[in-house]
A = this chain, B = another copy of it.
């Protein structure tokens, strides 16, 4: 990262210091972008949207999305680690659902916004 601020002449020092002081910590920034990153993939959005309708097992999700069990399972693992989905085991099956209201809200907002901008 080559940053030689001294070579830039147009900087409004006061503004920069003011905004800098209001910035979030790196940790907060990473948490925020990491959460959005999970929502930034079509397969994961399809999984999450399907789960807003109903609790589903891995093979049902695979059938709904017409994708391999493995691909779905990998994505579910990622979303489990990011606390976006939870699951319960019933024999051989694993039933997945959305982790909490936040996730529902994010998906709803995404759908709503997409419909508005066409």
Contact = CB atoms under 8 A, between A and B. Distances in A.
Given A59-B11, A67-B3, A41 B45 contact: no
A92 B79 CA distance: 45
- Taking the full assembly, how many copies of this chain does it contain? 2
Contacts of A59: 8, 10-11
A115 B62 contact: no
B32 A111 contact: yes
B3 A24 contact: no
A10 to B, nearest CB: 5
B11 A114 contact: no
Given A33-B45, A36-B40, 4 more contacts: A3-B67, A10-B93, A16-B60, A33-B40
